[in-house]
Amino acid sequence: MSRRTWTAANLPDLHGRTAVVTGANSGVGFATASALARAGAHVVLAVRDEQRGHTAAAAMSGRTEVRRLDLADLGSVRDFAAAWSGPLDLLINNAGVAGGRGSLTKDGFDLQFGTNHLGHFALTNLLLPQVCDRVITLASGAHRAGDIYFEDLALRTRRYSLAEAYGQSKLANLLFTLELERRLRRGGSRVQSFAAHPGYSATNLGTQGRSKPLIATVDLAGRLLAQTSEQGALPSLFAATHELPGASYVGPDGRWELHGSPSLVGRSARASDPDLARRLWEVSEELTGIRFGLGSE
């Protein structure tokens, strides 16, 4: 399935709908939130830095709101969810980190696994009773190089590799999407779970904790090779507004999925493994203390 001419200008009227976009103050998250607000949705920018969030919101048209959310702190995730009231149509788990060699979250998890997966796992399950349409979680082509190191999720006993840690977190995003969809269907919910990835987009992802020369190199590569954040947002926007099979994965349709129009794309065998997805879910419940948001599966 491909929509070669589909852009954010083709979004339907979203008046009366509410969306939460994590990491919405910059990059693909900003572009996603901006497009949804422009189409009429009430968009909540869930961001760690509220000042940056307000600056981003001021640059958007439409109805926006800024709320603090630090996905690297489960206490912050619980506070965000506890303060939520009313229906939530779209939960877009966009935020992510790529970097911070050996850094840990406030709760002691590897920064990438804890932020990219566990933070969104907790947020989704805590908000799930209010979600009435769909959950969209951003993954990455990097999931293909990932594995889930259940005996060492923080990668403390092996030589730490940023690529390995990031790949693990992105594989976890796809496994989470798969198991969430299974539990939703088994529970008779109308909510759907999808995944998306932006291709190679010009953002500041991957610069955390890096040297200035490397940051400059990433920036140069982005300017020369990457598509814009607006283009990178299209898979998320497509997944947010189209009828798709459950657990669908949407990404660019170009070569190596780096660029292009939103389309259904493939995933690795690991990312399609229901047993691996179920095991990761159970471990995630143990680590966060948060269970499936709609009760028994």
User: CA-CA distance, 177 to 171, in Å (whole number)?
Assistant: 10
The residue annotated as part of the active site, out of 149, 160, 166, 249, is 166
Q: Is 27 left (phi over 0), alpha (psi -120 to 50) or beta?
A: left
- The answer to whether residues 198 and 28 touch, using CB atoms and an 8 Å cutoff, is yes
Burial of 75 (0-12, 13-18, 19+ CB in 10 A): exposed
User: Please, are residues 66 and 43 in contact by the beta-carbon 8 Å criterion?
Assistant: no
What is the token pair recorded at 122?
């907790």
Between vectors from CA 13 to CA 248 and to CA 11, what angle results, nearest 5°? 45
Whole-number Å distance between alpha carbons of 229 and 236: 12
Q: Is 166 labeled as catalytic in the residue annotation?
A: yes
Q: Note the Cα 20 to chain centre separation in Å.
A: 11
Catalytic residues: 166
